[in-house]
Amino acid sequence: MSNHVVPAPDVTALPTEKGGTFPVRRVYCIGRNFAAHAVEMGHDPDRDPPFFFQKNPDNLDPSGTFPYPPKSQDVHHEVELLVALKSGGTGITVEDALKHVWGYGVALDMTRRDLQGEAKKLGRPWEIGKAFERSAPVGPLRPVSEVGHPGEGRIALSVNGTLRQEGDLNQMIWKVPEMISYLSDYFELRTGDVILAGTPAGVGAVTRGDTLEAVIDGVGTLTVNVV
């Protein structure tokens, strides 16, 4: 018998490829994790410590439809590897980190670039550009037992059949175990946490009517219609 004074919100649960859902607790996203993307955004790629922002769990959307959001004229696609954690903790070592991964998926870190740019300029938080409704389309998740731990493989995104983004997971500046370890020094990671692992070069604007096709070799594909 719940003692809530209002109805409890639903837990976001992402479909997995073979049935069953993955309930989401938190969403951590790394910035500038591919050198070529850091350069296109006007930064030097280097091994400065990584930085993360968060989206909200209910921003994740497996529907395959992306409604163009309000208050922006410059919404960009960013194709990313999604890492889904089955367990967590604090002070996780790089060597132990992959034990905590349940599986992987293909995701888009959709970004209101104009609002993000303004926030950067003013030294304000990024949520207004990043953590809006349905801002992270995701494909079905697949378990480690099927896909292993993909450390390399093509990651790409096409818009209406034209290739826009392309890179390889082996170009990530911070690898998945390093991201898990780093995050666990600052936060307590737990079951249901997910990480979006950064985007390769070629980000660009979408418009209503576009069809986005994202692929990560060995992980899966994701098709999203912008409406």
Residues that bind Mn ion (CB under 5 A): 78, 109, 199
Nearer Cβ to Mn ion (80/143): 80
Please state, in angstroms and rounded to a whole number, the distance separating the CA atoms of residues 139 and 16. Answer: 8
Residue (126 or 143) nearer to Mn ion, CB: 126
The answer to whether 82 and 106 have CB atoms below 8 angstroms apart is yes
- From the CB of 4, what's the least distance to Mn ion, in Å? 34
Q: How near is the Cβ of 30 to Mn ion at its closest, in Å?
A: 7
When the beta carbons of 99 and 154 are compared against Mn ion, the nearer one is 154
The nearest distance, CB 33 to Mn ion, in angstroms, is 8
Smaller CB distance to Mn ion: residue 81 or 143? 81
Residue nearest to Mn ion (CB): 109
- Report, in Å, the least distance between residue 90 CB and Mn ion: 25
Quickly tell me which residue has 């919100």 as its tokens.
9
Q: Burial of 117 by CB count in 10 Å (0-12 exposed, 13-18 middle, 19+ buried)? A: middle
Residues 6+ apart with CB under 8 A from 41: 32, 203
- Residue 169's identity, in one-letter code, is L
Which amino acid is present at 52? F
Over its C-alpha atoms, the chain yields an Rg (Å, rounded) of 17
